[in-house]
Amino acid sequence: MDKLLNNNWFVKIVSFVMALMLYAIVSAGETPSSNNPSSVAVNPTQQSSIVTERLALQYDDNQYVVSGAPQTISVRLNGSNESILKAKLLNSKSAYLDLTGMKPGTYDVRVQTRGFPSGLTVRPSPKTVRVTIQKKTSKELPVAIDILNKNSLADGYSIGDPVIDTQSVTVTGGADTVDSIAFIKGVIDVKGADATVDKMTSLHAYNNNGNQVNVTINPSTVNVRVPIDKVSKKLGIKAVTTGNPAKGYSVGSIDLSANEVTVSAQDGNALSQITNIEPLSVSVDGLKKDKTFSVTVPVPSGATKVSPEKIDVTVHIAKEAAAVSDSSSSSTDSGSSSTDNQTKKLANIPVKMTGLKDGLNASFDNDDHVDVSVTGSVQDLDKLSDSDVKASVDLSGLDTGKHQVSVVLSVPNGLQAKASPDTVSVSIS
């Protein structure tokens, strides 16, 4: 055996046989060519690739409308790398359906290709496409607008009716499709809006089932203006007293549980006309101590409601300084001083108006005079005359309407005065 292994020819023959066996094993795993199944040779330059092409439609678009065809289609290319690369770079290639001469109806049409380089095998997928041809028609339809989130406006605002710049549009499509349209609609979202919404919105056609219909709408967008009005605002509120406390007592001050209320109206125009709230009126007749009243807030003309609807009004009653009943009792009391206080009553003091806005007129609803009780020393009261006492009402900030206004008194220093009545009714126009 050693002699055989040392023989060069023997070794060469064994090596050759082993090489043949290895070649046979490798060749058995190769895919035979399609032209010769028994061949073990292959063409490494043959490739396959899939491209996507826009599917063109050839038909008379002045008379007909076609539906059902996809926008694009897949095309498988088989050939050399060079041919496939060339095909991908070409702009002239296309896939198309030839519908020339076809009448309205539904057809399965073969997909055709053109413009691909020679030497390529071109196979569209799918091979046929089902399309429907309809007679082309146009129709004028009204436009409607859906408003989303109506209940999600900013606080104190309300929504008005939308205003559309185009009331109707022209819809074009297949006769059957156009006849199926139930409405043309756009959508506007007003969530959180605190000012008028003014924007362009796209329009779409829908059938009776609420499904969108594929037609051409002209114009396809419209301008929509949705009024958003402020319908509430805050206004200050005051209180006035009527009547007189018990003898020897007077009104010291008035406190309110709220100094302003929210007034709501139907719309912005009505709200702009509301400029004030009538003062809350409470009677202090015969009071000797503080008292709290729950008073209903009056709803102004043009308003729909006020909030809060009731306000607590607390009247603080103060005890007046002791007054001497008359000058004779003062003179008979040797312990009395000439500086002891007493009260003097003056009748029919005229009331003047101040602070009225320019362009407005005001008048008293009842008497324009009040009685005034003045308290002070005997010497000061002796010098006091009717002309020294001034009574007025301040109409600052008040607009048209009826108002109950407090009477303001002006007397010389060292004297205190109280009007009866202490409020008067004034009409402003």
10-residue mean pLDDT profile of the chain (429 residues): values are 58 69 54 39 68 94 92 93 90 93 94 92 95 94 92 83 92 93 94 89 94 93 90 86 86 86 85 86 89 92 90 87 43 41 85 86 86 85 85 82 84 84 85
Residue 326 is assigned to a structural domain of this protein: no
**In the listed set 126, 152, 168, which residue is the last one of a domain according to the structure?**
126
User: Are both 166 and 224 inside the same structural domain?
Assistant: yes
The whole-angstrom separation of Cα 423 and Cα 402 is 13
Residue 262 is assigned to a structural domain of this protein: yes
Query: What helix, strand, coil percent values describe the chain, rounded to 5?
Result: 15, 50, 35
Of 352, 340, 338, 337, residue with least CA distance to 393: 352
User: Are both 247 and 314 inside the same structural domain?
Assistant: yes
- Looking at the structure of the chain, the number of domains it has is 5
Residue 163 is assigned to a structural domain of this protein: yes
User: Are both 209 and 249 inside the same structural domain?
Assistant: no
SS3 223: strand
Residue 218 is assigned to a structural domain of this protein: yes
Structure tokens at 135: 């007679």
User: Are both 304 and 341 inside the same structural domain?
Assistant: no
Give CA 226 to chain center in angstroms.
9
- Whose structure tokens read 């503080």? 290
The b-or-e profile of 212-228 (16+ CB within 10 A means b, else e) is: ebebebeeeebebebbb
SS3 350: strand
Predicted pLDDT of residue 378:
80
Domain span at residue 52 reads 46-126
Structure tokens at 325: 């009943």
The whole-angstrom separation of Cα 117 and Cα 82 is 10
CATH number, position 257: 2.170.120.40
Predicted pLDDT of residue 11:
62
User: Are both 113 and 156 inside the same structural domain?
Assistant: no
User: Are both 340 and 427 inside the same structural domain?
Assistant: yes
The whole-angstrom separation of Cα 235 and Cα 347 is 36
User: Are both 312 and 241 inside the same structural domain?
Assistant: yes
